[in-house]
Amino acid sequence: MDTVKVVAALSALAQENRLGIFRLLVQTGTPGMSAGGIARELGIVASTLSHHLGLLEQAELVRSNRRGRNVIYTCNLDGVRTLLRFLIEDCCGGRAELCGDLGAVALGSAAQ
């Protein structure tokens, strides 16, 4: 992952509403959630929510998929792992596996 993408991902998370959206989608897991469900859960107006979801999707932390008439948003676990891997790749002298659970998650070897 290049530093431009890392900065975009970290910037996307460095805002209260976007961090809340991201955390909600992490908790929701594979089923995901519609924009309306996210808006109701977090009390964010639709126009603002659309902007936040767009930034999270651009940062490759969130994915959207059309299911029937709804657009469902899910956490992009591959994007999160890539970000974590970048952040800890130099941990412990370049031996991320020594970072325990964090290393396992970033390296993709943790149970999903």
For the chain, domain boundaries: 3-75, 77-112
- The whole-number pLDDT of residue 71 equals 94
Query: Which residues are CB-contacts of 16 (< 8 A; sequence separation ≥ 6)?
Result: none
User: How many whole angstroms separate alpha carbon 72 and alpha carbon 62?
Assistant: 10
Amino acid at 104: A
pTM here is 0.84
Question: How far is 27 from 32, CA to CA, in rounded Å?
Answer: 9
Query: Confidence class of residue 112 from pLDDT cuts 50, 70 and 90?
Result: very low
More confident call, 18 vs 87: 18
Q: What is the pLDDT of residues 6-47, one digit of tens each?
A: 999 999 999 999 999 999 999 999 999 999 999 999 999 998
> In whole angstroms, what separates CA 22 from the centre of its chain?
5
The C-alpha atoms of residue 53 and residue 86 are separated, in whole angstroms, by 23
pLDDT over 70 at 111, yes or no: no
Q: Say yes or no to pLDDT of 73 above 50.
A: yes
Neighbours of 15 (CB within 10 A): 14
Select the CATH number that applies to the domain covering 3-75 from these four: 1.10.3720.10, 3.30.1490.190, 1.10.10.10, 3.40.710.10. 1.10.10.10
